[in-house]
Amino acid sequence: MDIRPIHTKADYKAALKIVSALVDADPKRGTPEADRLEVLGTLLEAYEAQHYPLELPDPIEAIKFRMEQQGLSAKDLKPMIGGLNRVYEVLNRKRPLSIAMVRRLNSSLGISAECLIREAA
């Protein structure tokens, strides 16, 4: 298995090409090809984290996105945020999220606490 670190954009593109071909081949777990795919995936992930960092989304937009994904209405957020008025205040950026709200949203909707505690735009 000839795998090297990814240092340059050319290395990155070459690794992406190899990974794409391996994904298309869909190797069986435990085979040398599957191992190569896993290692290259890890290297690509590390390179992308360093060179193409993603910003966390706005917390309110993250909540609205998750609501859309799960087909939730504002009423469904009452157990996590409080009364319907409070839910609308949060969604309309009139009230900040409290720590208790962050905990419940994180637990119930799976939105990262790091995202939820971020300053809303």
16-66 pLDDT tens trace: 999 999 999 999 999 999 999 999 999 999 999 999 988 889 999 999 999
Tally Cβ neighbours within 10 Å of residue 91. 16
Q: How far apart are CA 32 and CA 52, in angstroms?
A: 29
Assign 1 a pLDDT band (cuts: 50, 70, 90): low
Q: How far apart are CA 74 and CA 92, in angstroms?
A: 11
8 pLDDT exceeds 80?
yes
Q: How far apart are CA 18 and CA 45, in angstroms?
A: 14
Average pLDDT over the chain, rounded to whole?
94
- pLDDT for the residue numbered 121: 66
Q: Which residues contact 21 (CB under 8 A, 6 or more apart)?
A: none
| Superfamily for domain range 59-116 | lambda repressor-like DNA-binding domains (1.10.260.40)
| pTM attached to this predicted model | 0.61
Segment 78-91, tens digit of pLDDT: 999 999 999 999 99
- pLDDT for the residue numbered 4: 87
